[in-house]
């Protein structure tokens, strides 16, 4: 991101990244909500998927005002590749450690999105964009809540894997 990426260009970039990350989250949750070997984790992921699909549509709608479409740039691209590789390994090999890794990457994506929502919230406040402010606040709270749930499930999964006979 060079010096030219300021003002409206920066806002567009932030929306593109948020849309791209949210799409990766939705795609990952779609796969893990049926393939994850831990029933409680599947349930938590399914619950997040419904909300995350709604947030993706909201981000696309809000981003459209800034000509953002979800262009995949460096950070989003790296996280997308990592998620896709983790999911492919987990679903092809089926080992608990591979699903654990995919679960951990999903959690990382959601935490990244929570941070992005915080930035968007501050942008919304500075630009007096109440619609964006409300959407960013809701997204940030939802990502925080689902991240906490996924983190708890990940910790329980770690214990299950570590203590398997």
Q: What is the DSSP letter of 37?
A: S
* Tokens at 102, concatenated: 């995919």
The domain that holds 93 is classified in CATH as: 1.20.1260.10
Give the residue among 123, 138, 90 at the shortest CA–CA distance from 17.
Answer: 123
Question: Distance (Å, rounded) from C-alpha 162 to C-alpha 38?
Answer: 14
* pLDDT tens per residue, range 30-40: 999 999 999 99
- pLDDT over 60 at 3, yes or no: no
* pLDDT tens per residue, range 40-77: 999 999 999 999 999 999 999 999 999 999 999 889 99
Question: Distance (Å, rounded) from C-alpha 21 to C-alpha 26?
Answer: 9
The count of domains in the chain is 1
Across 59-89, b (16+ Cβ under 10 Å) vs e yields: bbebbeebebebebeeebeebbebbbebbeb
Average pLDDT, stretch 105-134? 93
Residue 1's pLDDT band (boundaries 50, 70, 90)? very low
Query: What pLDDT was estimated at residue 5?
Result: 77
Q: What is the largest CA-CA distance in the chain?
A: 57
**CB hemisphere CA count around 117 (13 angstroms):** 24
* Residue 1 resides in a domain: no
Query: What pLDDT was estimated at residue 109?
Result: 96
52, 26 in Cβ contact below 8 A?
yes
- pLDDT over 80 at 89, yes or no: yes
User: 26 is in which domain, residue-wise?
Assistant: 7-162
């Amino acid at each position: 991101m060079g010096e030219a990426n300021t003002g409206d260009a920066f806002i567009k970039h932030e929306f593109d990244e948020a849309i791209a990350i949210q799409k990766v989250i939705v795609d990952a949750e779609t796969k893990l909500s049926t393939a994850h070997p831990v029933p409680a984790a599947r349930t938590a992921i399914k619950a997040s998927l419904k909300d995350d699909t709604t947030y993706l549509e909201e981000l696309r709608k809000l981003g459209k005002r800034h000509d953002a479409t979800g262009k995949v740039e460096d950070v989003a691209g790296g996280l997308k590749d990592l998620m896709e590789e983790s999911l492919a390994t987990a679903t092809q090999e089926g080992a608990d450690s591979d699903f654990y890794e995919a679960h951990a990457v999903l959690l990382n994506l959601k935490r990244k999105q929570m941070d992005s929502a915080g930035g968007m919230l501050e942008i919304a406040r500075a630009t007096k964009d109440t619609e964006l402010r409300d959407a960013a606040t809701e997204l940030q709270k939802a990502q925080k809540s689902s991240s906490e749930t996924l983190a708890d499930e990940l910790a329980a999964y770690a214990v299950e894997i570590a203590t398997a006979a």
